[in-house]
Amino acid sequence: QQQVKQSPQSLIVQKGGISIINCAYENTAFDYFPWYQQFPGKGPALLIAIRPDVSEKKEGRFTISFNKSAKQFSLHIMDSQPGDSATYFCAASIGSGSARQLTFGSGTQLTVLP
């Protein structure tokens, strides 16, 4: 019930292409869906986030698409660049007040070829 399933595990894209990473969840009580980006040797950093009352959110080349009925959300990276090569984690949060917790997907290692 608390799981967030992420796919693919790894992804190789040519420069200029579109990278798509998918996540699925079961628990409809999840109500906040962030994506974190992690470069080697660094901690994750928030990239973009969405709430379930919105079907899409775009920030620059990064877009989250959210399908509430399918319980799925995805990250699209347009015009992918070698500098986007990193590990991407989707996540979902649930709970109230100080007990709210974030559940992460297993991560996708993205490689953008020059």
Partner 1 sequence: DAGITQSPRYKITETGRQVTLMCHQTWSHSYMFWYRQDLGHGLRLIYYSAAADITDKGEVPDGYVVSRSKTENFPLTLESATRSQTSVYFCASSHYGVNEKLFFGSGTQLSVL
Chain residues binding partner 1 by CB under 8 A are: 2, 6, 32, 36, 41-46, 89, 93, 98-107
Please give the Cα distance from 31 to 88 (Å, whole number): 20
Please give the Cα distance from 114 to 107 (Å, whole number): 22
Please give the Cα distance from 113 to 95 (Å, whole number): 40
- End-to-end CA gap in the chain: 40
Q: Dump the DSSP string for 8-24.
A: -SEEEEETTS-EEEEEE
Nearer to partner 1, 66 or 89 (CB): 89
Nearer to partner 1, 60 or 114 (CB): 60
Nearer to partner 1, 46 or 78 (CB): 46
Please give the Cα distance from 1 to 8 (Å, whole number): 21
The least CB distance from residue 110 to partner 1, in Å, is: 15
The least CB distance from residue 95 to partner 1, in Å, is: 8
The least CB distance from residue 25 to partner 1, in Å, is: 13
The least CB distance from residue 109 to partner 1, in Å, is: 10
Nearer to partner 1, 63 or 88 (CB): 88
